[in-house]
Amino acid sequence: MSVLLQTSKCIFRKPFNNTFCKYVFLRKNSDVPKKFITFDEVVAQRRAEAMRSVVVQVNSDSSFNELYGYCSKYASIKDIHHYKNSGGEHFMVIEFASEDNLKDVLKSCSSHNKDHDVISVQSPFLWFRAAVGNKEKFAATGKKLAVKNGTEICNEDVLLEDILNCETVSDQIQLLYEKTTLNDLSIRLRYIVARQLEMIFNSLYTNVKIQPFGSSVNGFGRMGCDLDLVLMNSITEEMGAASRRLVFQEKRSARQLELAGALLELRVAGVARLTRILNARVPIVKYAHEYAGLHCDLCYNNSAAVHMSELLWQLGELCARARALAVLVRRWAAATGLTQPHPGRWLTNFPLTLMVLFFLQRTGLLPSLNRLVSEAGKEDIRIAEENVNCTFLRDLNKLPADSYEQNDDDLQTLLFKFFEFYSQFDFQEKAISINEGKPIRKPNSLPLYIVNPLEQSLNVSRNVSYEECERLRLEVRNAAWHLESCLDGKKSDDWGILGLIEKKSSRGLKKLLRVGNSHRLVSMKDLFSDNDNEPSVEGIRSKMQKFVKTDKEVDTSVTEMKSEMSKEQKSGKMKFKNSQTASAVYRIRRDKII
Ligand code: GTP
Ligand code: MG
């Protein structure tokens, strides 16, 4: 994420998620620099950025000059960023100097399709048609792409190797955070996807707003996380004024998401694989946005969820260590299987993040939510749907400095203390409440109780089963032991956070690769000869046996691989080229495979 830093003369952009950048300054003429910017200000800047941006599909990143030259004829360009979607298609995000510039560009667009099934719709997603006739020549401007391949997720093997080479565990945690946290372009794109829907809905409704929430905006998101969106009826105070005597006749409907689903399916370019989950407590429409390469969840009138994201974002602003720690803990939970990509009787990232924030409150790094509520003024009053009170201090500059960051522990110490804290936590009797900032008595016997900060009568981990809670207790103890064992200073292959964030199933193989063992690698050629696309199980097994004989040290990894193979063989599901073992070997060191 980046913010616009404004001085009396100019506006410039500064990244603020790639370092421990604690303070953000937003300065108006002659103002004293502010230590913290508000969530609303960040959102307003991002929305404004999206309102002057388009996404253009191009042939490749070398289309830059032509696209720049062509668009400059219509409007002044601020920046162009390049990315590829999962299908390898190329896109450029163009930010123009103003919203009016964008309107001029949209006026110049054409609809390419004469098919009678297509009725064109205005949207910030465009494509760049090949020039007709003689190619126009554009003079070199010296301008360059602001970023190339900007949404590419860091290669896992490179990342793990870089982590291995870090000096300290704190450096490892910081590196993981910097390399995996949502970057500027990914956030821009998310706001443009929201803007695309807003444009379509606003051609039907008086005034709706589509607002991203969740990890896309709360400061805890990783590259590639899903995009949570909320469709909100955004009636301004002016529009709602009783003095306006002429009022629109309106139609009541509790089925707004049904229409939204149909619109998305039929009218929104890029939307694919749409599913409706309308009977849930929070009904949603799920879909993939193919141009943006995102998985999206759209819900309706859920401003409490946006305020929840605001709260999490604020706490992350108060203590940058919170974000780095939460990113690591989320990764660890995914690697141990405590969290899963689909919903079930286990933890999810949101309650897990609350657990991190709660722990940081216990260490004096963060204030309790009650403290933020007690410091709130009239301007902070927010009442969400169903009268959910979302009032808490918004301007963190007003918060007394001694109410946060009262601890100098480095990330390594904090991480160890986090695991130790939850190893000793009395889950049976106590609930976790970031409102109080201290454990409270559990109001019922559910295995895990994490108070919903904005609706305190609710438990955000009510779905977690007894077994999953036990697993959590076991895994935090394992993690604490692992970190303690790293204190002797010897750097083994699963040193520091590597032993926490690598999936156990792939650890054996990676170990084999890390300790200078590349010569022992199972080569793809050894496994599958060129003229033998579907080799026999026996063939592979005998080749694996050869490796067992070559070196006893790799015993574990090979046994793991063999058991994978025999399991698959028994279930009759073995697909050689795509088998987990083969692809893992291939993926781990493509460059080393002969
Ligand atoms: P990832 O998508 O896993 O990266 O994290 P996320 O924080 O976006 O979580 P998720 O997509 O599951 O939920 C999106 C947002 O909805 C969260 O950040 C919360 O603000 C809110 N949310 C999620 N689960 C609950 C819940 O059980 N109760 C309430 N009140 N809000 C929730
Ligand atoms: Mg999410």
Assigned domain for 51 exists = yes
- Adjacency order of strands within the sheet including 227-233: 208-213, 227-233, 294-300, 284-289, 271-277
463 lines ligand 1 (CB under 6 A): no
Q: Is 313 in the pocket of ligand 1 (CB under 6 A)?
A: no
Helix axes 39-51, 99-107, angle to 10 degrees: 30
**Burial (Cβ within 10 Å: 0-12, 13-18, ≥19) of residue 244:** exposed
Q: Which atom of ligand 1 is nearest to the CA of 218?
A: 18
Looking at the structure, do residues 533 and 460 belong to the same domain, yes or no? no
What whole-number distance in Å separates Cα of residue 194 and Cα of residue 268? 11
86 and 59 share a domain?
yes
- Coil, strand or helix at 248: coil
323 and 373 in a common domain:
no
- What tokens were used for 93? 């995000």
Determine, yes or no, domain membership for 74: yes
- The pair of three-digit structure tokens given for residue 312, joined into one six-digit string: 């999490």
Q: Using alpha carbons, select from 350, 362, 359, 356 the residue that is nearest to residue 461.
A: 350
Closest listed ligand to the CA of 218? 1
Query: What would the pLDDT profile of 122-138 be if each residue is shown by its tens digit?
Result: 899 999 988 887 777 77
**Ligand minimally distant from the alpha carbon of residue 351:** 1
CB-based contacts of 563: which residues, under 8 Å, 6+ apart?
A: none
Q: Does residue 151 lie within any of the structural domains?
A: no
Write out pLDDT tens, residues 468-511. Answer: 999 999 999 999 999 998 877 677 888 999 999 987 655 555 55
Pocket lining: 348 vs ligand 1, CB cutoff 6 Å: yes
CA separation for the pair 396, 42 (Å, rounded): 14
Q: pLDDT (tens digit, 9 = 90+) per residue, 73-115?
A: 889 999 999 999 999 999 999 999 999 999 989 988 887 666 7
- Ligand 1 close to Cβ of residue 228 (< 6 A): yes
CB-count exposure of residue 290 (10 Å: 0-12, 13-18, 19+): middle
212 CA to centre of ligand 1 in angstroms: 12
Longest dimension (CA), the chain: 88
DSSP state of 183: -
Please write down the long-range contacts of 135-142, taking CB distance under 8 Å and 24 or more positions apart: 136/66, 136/69, 136/70, 138/65, 138/66, 138/68, 138/69, 138/70, 139/69, 140/65, 141/65, 141/68, 141/69, 141/72
- Runs of H (alpha helix) within 32-140: 39-51, 64-72, 99-107
Coil, strand or helix at 403: helix
Q: Is the pLDDT of residue 256 over 50?
A: yes
Cα separation of 260 and 286, whole Å? 11
Q: Which two tokens stand for residue 10?
A: 């100019």
Which is more confident, 266 or 539?
266
Separation of CA 228 and ligand 2 centre (Å): 5
**Tokens found for residue 515:** 């300790």
Looking at the fold, whether 543 and 478 belong to one and the same domain comes out as: no
Residue by residue, DSSP assigns 446-507 as -S--BB-SSSTT-BTTTT--HHHHHHHHHHHHHHHHHHHHGGG----TTTTTHHHHS-HHHH
Torsion of CA 437, 443, 448, 451, to 10 degrees: -40
Task: Write down which residue in 502, 520, 554 finishes a domain.
Answer: 502
Confidence of residue 547 (pLDDT cuts 50, 70, 90): very low
Q: How far is CA 28 from the centre of its chain?
A: 31
Does 270 fall in a domain?
no
Q: How far is the CA of 306 from the centre of ligand 1 (A)?
A: 10
Q: Is residue 182 part of a domain?
A: no
> Quick one: 464 and 528 in the same domain?
no
Same domain, 390 and 496: no
The whole-angstrom separation of Cα 365 and Cα 144 is: 42
On the question of pLDDT at 60 being above 50, the answer is yes
E-only strand ranges, 380-464: 383-384, 388-389, 430-431, 440-441
- Residue 149 has what DSSP assignment? S
Q: Which of 471, 502, 533 is the last residue of a domain?
A: 502
Distance CA 427, CA 230 (A): 33
Q: Which residues pair with 14 in a beta bridge?
A: 3
Mutate-to-test residue for ligand 1 from 39, 350, 457, highest number of ligand atoms within 8 A of CB: 350
For residues 393 and 491, state if they share a domain: no
Q: Find out whether 338 and 347 touch, Cβ atoms under 8 Å.
A: yes
More confident site: 381 or 107: 381
Q: What is the pLDDT of residues 334-361, one digit of tens each?
A: 999 999 988 899 999 999 999 999 999 9
Quote the pTM value: 0.81
pLDDT digits (tens, 9 = 90+) for 157-212: 999 999 999 999 999 999 999 999 999 999 999 999 999 999 999 988 888 999 99
**Domain limit, last residue, from 127, 158, 186:** 127
Q: Which of 580, 552, 586, 584 is nearest to 567 (CA)?
A: 580
- Does the Cβ of 451 fall within 6 Å of ligand 1? no
For residue 97, give the CATH number of its domain.
3.30.70.330
The reply to whether 488 and 417 lie within a common domain is yes
214 CA → ligand 2 middle, Å: 5
Q: Which of 254-263, 451-460, 488-497, 529-538 is predicted least confidently? A: 529-538
Same domain, 526 and 427: no
CA of 348 to the centre of ligand 1 (A): 8
Query: Measured in angstroms, how far is the CA atom of residue 125 from the centroid of ligand 1?
Result: 28
Number of domains present in the structure of the chain: 4
Q: What percent of the chain has pLDDT over 90?
A: 64
Q: The domain containing residue 78 runs over which residues?
A: 18-127
Q: What is the DSSP letter of 144?
A: -
Q: Residues with Cβ within 5 Å of ion ligand 2?
A: 214-215, 226, 228
- For residues 472 and 419, give the distance between their C-alpha atoms in angstroms, rounded to a whole number: 10
Same domain, 338 and 487: yes
- Atom 21 (ligand 1): residue with closest C-alpha? 305
DSSP H or E run through 318: helix 303-318
Residue 258 domain-assigned (yes or no): no
Mutate to test the pocket of ligand 1, among 181, 211, 228 (most ligand atoms within 8 A of CB): 228
What does the pLDDT look like over 26-41, one tens digit per residue? 444 455 678 899 999 9
Any ligand 1 atom below 6 A from CB of 316: no
Ligand number, closest to the Cα atom of 460: 1
Could you tell me the CA-to-CA distances from 283 to 233, 255, 276, 279, 346 in Å, in that order?
16, 10, 8, 6, 20
Whether residue 338 lies inside any domain: the answer is: yes
Instruction: Kindly state whether residues 563 and 575 are assigned to the same domain.
Output: yes
Query: Within this chain, do residues 476 and 331 fall inside the same structural domain, yes or no?
Result: yes
Give the residue from 557, 535, 539, 538 showing the smallest Cα distance to 548.
Answer: 557
Ligand 1: nearest atom to the Cα of 339: 3
> Residue 225: CB within 6 Å of ligand 1?
yes
Helix (H) or strand (E) holding 232: strand 227-233
Residue bearing the CA closest to ligand 1, atom 11? 214
Please give the structure tokens belonging to residue 112.
Answer: 């390419």
CA distances from 566 to 523, 548, 572, 581 (A): 20, 16, 9, 11
Q: Give nearest CA residue, ligand 1 atom 31.
A: 305
Angle at CA of residue 257, ends 252 and 258, nearest 5° = 90
In a domain, 94, yes or no: yes
